[in-house]
Chains A and B, each alone.
Chain A
């Protein structure tokens, strides 16, 4: 499959039609979707109409946008008008949103062609896509293993060459972790850089939308297209989309790269070795390496698994059988709500709602939620200290390569620990990128993570690009 960049160039120049690119994408989906369970819905008709519209504009000599004719997969917690949007939950099965998420509008404006909705852990809660009400997605690189999560379907769509671009959402690592496990670039942008209007909320102070692609340049193109202020999202930063593509080849010469032990130690040996090799590559490219210890990052997991469930318990209160989605009839209105939620939510969602409700309930609020918010402050201050000594930080994205189905499902805490390296950036609202670097067990990809201060995406792309070239993808 062509890259995002090549597709857009070919379509803009008329070397390929958007429709022919789309048909290749649809053929790839048809060939493997039954086995991999990547897409929950494929909008062939709508995609053909969008692709034809792009081709007509090319024929008329119009500017068709930076993502002209690029097929894109959307995580199924992003709303698209009249397209079923489920969050992989029975509680929303069959619901069709009456509006587009802002990112969908921006993609269309840039000439991209949304092809369908991808599987996720229900309401984005999970790290393996095994929590989907519609069955797990398989990792295209090894179908006995998970693709990661919660944006596992989006990662699998790109890894299986179904689309060159997918959007996911990242609350505690849900873009970066599946990107690492599927050998892709995954970006969690600065909080507020990308509008979340039309993203079904999980934890509002943490959620961000970002791209998954096969190249760093593609990720920069996609992020540039979807970023920028949106009056429909009150947490949207008041600035226009930053210039990213132009800085991808800036390199890391003269940059200070902080090596954070807490983002490396505890990972499998092969992962640690990959990070060490990546550090050497950045050093050879002219970066100064600074060893840092940030013990606060170890506490991030505890804070996260109280803050995110607390916000989720509040956000998911809206699913009550009254205005949309599932309703299970029972006696009075309270019984109806309880029956609806009990039937509609899966086990992990219930676990998080329970945890969050407990952490927010009278008598426990200060001991759990209040403490967690203070630890969040410590994490943010720790980042600030680290960025006095370094321009960007490096660590592992995940403790291991893709794991086997069922290996963590019986032990929620073991599953939660797979987010330990990705969570700090969500707590601080700062950007991070996962870039494939080397392989481990069974030839499976390893992800290296670069982290930076707010709005430092351009620098992260430049660093990731250095690693991409060194890893043999010029």
Chain B
């Protein structure tokens, strides 16, 4: 298995939308490395031909009839948002300033 580098941790933090201080990067590189090293015991196994299990029992989704039922009230849901406008979730600017 590949070993974990500090730049990998910095990259993953970016993917996960987390800001890491230099000290946190050092700590996480060491700690996550230990967990991954422990996981390397799986490498000793011959797993060729083993089918991956994403779910116990191979459950299939249990779906109900496709009919309209009451759901959460729109106003109640919007009221939970940190910011809303005209019945919609409001977020800060998505695109940069116009040139």
Asked if A and B are interacting partners, one says yes
Question: Residues on A close to B: CB < 8 A?
Answer: 95-96, 98-99, 191-192, 205, 229, 231, 234-238, 298-299, 301-303, 305-306, 313, 320-327, 329-339, 341-342, 345, 350-351, 353-355, 357-358, 361, 363-364, 367-368, 370-378, 380, 412-413, 416, 427-430, 454
Number of A-B contacts (CB under 8 A): 170
Of all A-B residue pairs in the complex, the 4 with the closest CB atoms, nearest first, are A429-B56, A373-B52, A327-B82, A302-B39
Contact B35 A413 (CB under 8 A): yes
Verify B47–A371 contact, CB threshold 8 A: yes
Instruction: Say whether A99 contacts B72, CB under 8 Å.
Output: yes
Cα A191 to Cα B43 in complex, Å, equals: 28
A-B contacts, 21 of them at CB < 8 A, read A192-B57, A205-B56, A237-B62, A298-B41, A302-B42, A305-B39, A323-B81, A324-B81, A333-B91, A337-B17, A341-B17, A353-B18, A355-B36, A358-B8, A358-B12, A363-B2, A364-B2, A373-B54, A375-B47, A427-B56, A430-B56
Number of interface residues of B (CB under 8 A): 53
A235 contacts which of B28, B32, B62, B80 (Cβ < 8 Å)? B62
Cβ distance A324 to chain B, nearest Cβ, rounded Å: 4
CB atoms of A454 and B35 under 8 A apart: no
Q: Which chain A residues border B19 with CB–CB below 8 Å?
A: 338-339, 342
Q: Hey, which chain B residues are within 8 Å of A305, CB to CB?
A: 35, 38-39
Q: How far is the CB of B48 from chain A (nearest CB, A)?
A: 9
Query: Is there contact, CB below 8 Å, between B52 and A376?
Result: yes
Q: How far is the CB of A237 from chain B (nearest CB, A)?
A: 8
Q: B98 contacts the other chain (Cβ, under 8 Å)? A: no
CA distance A99 to B61 in the complex (A): 23
Which residue of chain A lies nearest to B94 when distances are taken between CB atoms in the complex?
A333
With a cutoff of 8 Å between Cβ atoms, the chain B residues found around residue A358 in the complex are 4, 8-9, 12, 32, 36
Tell whether B93 is near chain A: CB-to-CB under 8 Å. yes
Closest to B48 in A: A374
| Nearest CB on A from B91, distance (A) | 5
With a CB–CB cut-off of 8 A, which chain B residues contact A96? 80
Complex interface residues of chain B between 43 and 73 (CB less than 8 A to chain A):
43, 45, 47, 50-57, 59, 61-64, 72-73
